[in-house]
Amino acid sequence: MVATAGAQVGEQGWSSRTAFILAAVGAAVGLGNIWRFPTLAGENGGGAFVLVYLVCVLLIGLPLMLSEFVVGRAGQSDAIGSVRRVADESRVSRRWSIFGGIEILAGFLILSFYSVVAGWVLYYIWLSGGDFLGNLFAGEALRGAFSGIGQEAVSGMMGDLFASPGRLILVHALFMAATIAIVASGVHDGIEKAATWLMPAFFFLLLGITVYGAFTGDFARALTFMFTPDFSKLTAPVMNEALGQAFFSLSLASGALVTYGAYVARDVNLGPTAATISLADTAVAMIAGLMIFPIVFAVGLDPSAGPALIFQSLPVAFQTMPGGSLIGLLFFVLIFFAALTSSISLLEGPTAWAIDRFGLRRPVAAVILGLGAFVIGIACALGYNVWADVRPLGFWNIFAETDILDTIDGFTGKLMLPLAGLLLSIFVGWKADRRLVEAQSGLSGGLFVLWRFLVAWLCPIAVALILLFGLFPQLL
Ligand code: PHE
């Protein structure tokens, strides 16, 4: 077969291995690294969480990422269609495609709240852009962003935003519109183009700001916080949270990677590529932590402040930087880019499915699904104000305290992603034809044996245990 991929979805596929890596790194690196990882590490005591997270990425996340690519490239279709095809070729039941269905639904649900949080980033672009222009015209462009206001005032800006349904929904709508527009433009002209421009710029700025933070913030304390595990904090729910974060951050089990795998040319070696992508994603999460926690400690914020953490800490740091007005603006622009290359992958999974399943045209599928996620996102936005008391899964102890956004986030991250990952590992480790899997993986000899062992044994057992005790801690 020639190197045209994604045949079912009528797509040309990625134009090169580099384009594929950039698109997949773009899918992986996003709010999960810069917003969700520091938030969860802060809430769960730092070191212990980070340690479990790293172990999960290496032993579970990376093997499963390769599994997703293998299924996608072998199946040449969306997350459900690809599993069906591989099941047919392996002569096992097509019912295994159920996990593809869970993946697509999870991606759709994640997109709904992801766009709301990305909207906060847009709002901060607006704030820092106004600040930058104000300073520029007042002839003081080198003063810091959010100039002259204290920590409390910076935190108060987040409060103002949360209190306003109109603003929250507006920025959410803008972000979703951008996501839809790119996905509607196609894999080659939309997704690939966005990733190849936005990702390199993102890396460059991330490093710059981290180096700056290392010199100005409380770096030593941040290092201790992130890398000194307090094992008394290693409870089953913390492990479940860390596992969910590994899935979320690597974009596993949410339809994105199977679908991206379908667009990869036959001659790309998937094993090393998955390793590169996982490594890049993990590096960004660590760097983001080392960028944010020094500032958090330097300005006396509580690391367990929750979802608003980065929005309350970073602007304070920009205040004190020379040229901070501009850096603050650029920084939020780049988080926005990273979020966008992820949200398009979240929408691409369901969109590819709708194209295959119902024969819709790409733009139509993207608009319908994007609008659906937008509507659910509105509920998340209202959960910060008019519906602040709503607890959608309040009857379940682990979700008793969580608002609408956190409930969807927690339900997908702690439950749906690991569950789909569990089924995926059984499918690839036990059910799918071994020769097909081996040929697609690009691994051979000992590496292949190791990978298969991790997928067939370690992943299902570890994920099942973490799921069980994380969701029902009373069993322990
Ligand atoms: N991995 C992305 C992030 O870290 C989020 C994402 C999850 C994207 C699942 C696609 C699929 O921001």
461: which 2 tokens? 């057992």
Q: How far is it, in rounded angstroms, from Cα 464 to Cα 306?
A: 27
Q: Could you count the other beta carbons within 10 Å of the beta carbon of residue 448?
A: 16
Q: Give yes or no for a contact between 174 and 119, defined as CB atoms under 8 angstroms apart.
A: yes
Cα 361 to chain centroid, rounded: 27
Residue 27 CA to ligand 1 center (angstroms) comes to 6
How much is the pLDDT for 6? Answer: 53
Q: CATH number, domain at 272?
A: 1.20.1740
pTM: 0.93
Q: How far apart are CA 232 and CA 454, in angstroms?
A: 27
pLDDT at 79: 97
Segment 379-387 long-range contacts (CB within 8 Å, at least 24 positions apart)? 379/404, 380/112, 380/113, 380/116, 380/404, 380/405, 380/408, 381/116, 381/119, 381/165, 381/168, 381/169, 381/172, 381/405, 382/165, 384/162, 384/163, 384/168, 385/162, 385/163, 385/164, 385/165, 385/168, 386/165
Question: Which amino acids bring their CB within 6 angstroms of ligand 1?
Answer: 27-28, 30-33, 107, 110, 248-249, 251, 254, 256, 342, 345-346
Would residue 353 count as lying in a domain?
A: yes
Q: Which of ligand 1's atoms lies nearest the C-alpha of 345?
A: 10
Distance CA(115)–CA(343), nearest Å, equals 7
Instruction: Write out the residue range of the structural domain in which residue 193 sits.
Output: 7-475
| Residue 2: predicted pLDDT | 34
Q: Around Cβ 475, how many Cβ atoms within 10 Å?
A: 8
Instruction: Report how far Cα 94 is from the mean position of its chain's Cα atoms.
Output: 29
- Cα of 111 from ligand 1 centre, angstroms: 9
Residue to mutate, 249, 284, 408, 424, ligand 1, most ligand atoms under 8 Å from C-beta: 249
- 2, part of any domain: no
Alpha helices in 91-218 (DSSP H): 98-137, 151-163, 165-184, 193-216
- What CA–CA distance (Å, rounded) separates 136 from 138? 5
Domain total of the chain: 1
Q: Taking the alpha carbons of 199, 203, 208, 213 in that order, is the dihedral positive or negative?
A: positive
CA of 144 to the centre of ligand 1 (A): 31
Is the residue at 1 inside a domain? no
**Per-residue tens of pLDDT for the chain, all 476 residues:** 333 345 555 467 899 999 999 999 999 999 999 999 999 999 998 999 999 999 999 999 999 999 999 999 999 999 999 999 999 999 999 999 999 999 999 999 999 999 999 999 999 999 888 777 777 777 654 455 566 667 777 888 889 999 999 999 999 999 999 999 999 999 988 999 888 888 888 888 888 878 877 777 788 999 999 999 988 988 999 999 999 999 999 999 999 999 999 999 999 999 999 999 999 999 999 999 988 888 888 878 888 888 888 888 778 777 776 777 777 888 898 899 899 999 999 999 999 999 999 999 999 999 999 999 999 999 999 999 999 999 999 999 889 999 999 999 999 999 999 999 999 999 999 999 999 999 999 999 999 999 999 999 999 999 999 999 888 888 87
Q: C-alpha angle with apex 20: 350 to 193, nearest 5 degrees?
A: 80
Handedness of CA 57, 58, 64, 65 (dihedral sign): positive
Q: Where are the alpha helices (DSSP H) in 359-416?
A: 362-382, 404-410
Choose among 12, 69, 17: nearest CA to 440: 69
Nearest to 328 by CA among 172, 156, 131: 131
Give the distance (Å) from ligand 1 centre to CA of residue 139.
Answer: 40
Q: Would 293 be classed as within a structural domain?
A: yes
Query: What CA–CA distance (Å, rounded) separates 76 from 73?
Result: 5
- Asked if ipTM goes beyond 0.85, one says yes
| In a domain? residue 414 | yes
Q: Which residue, judged by its Cα, is nearest atom 7 of ligand 1?
A: 251
CA of 211 to the centre of ligand 1 (A): 25
Cα of 443 from ligand 1 centre, angstroms: 26
For 120, 122, 154, 208, the CA distances from 149, given in Å and listed in that order, are 20, 21, 7, 24
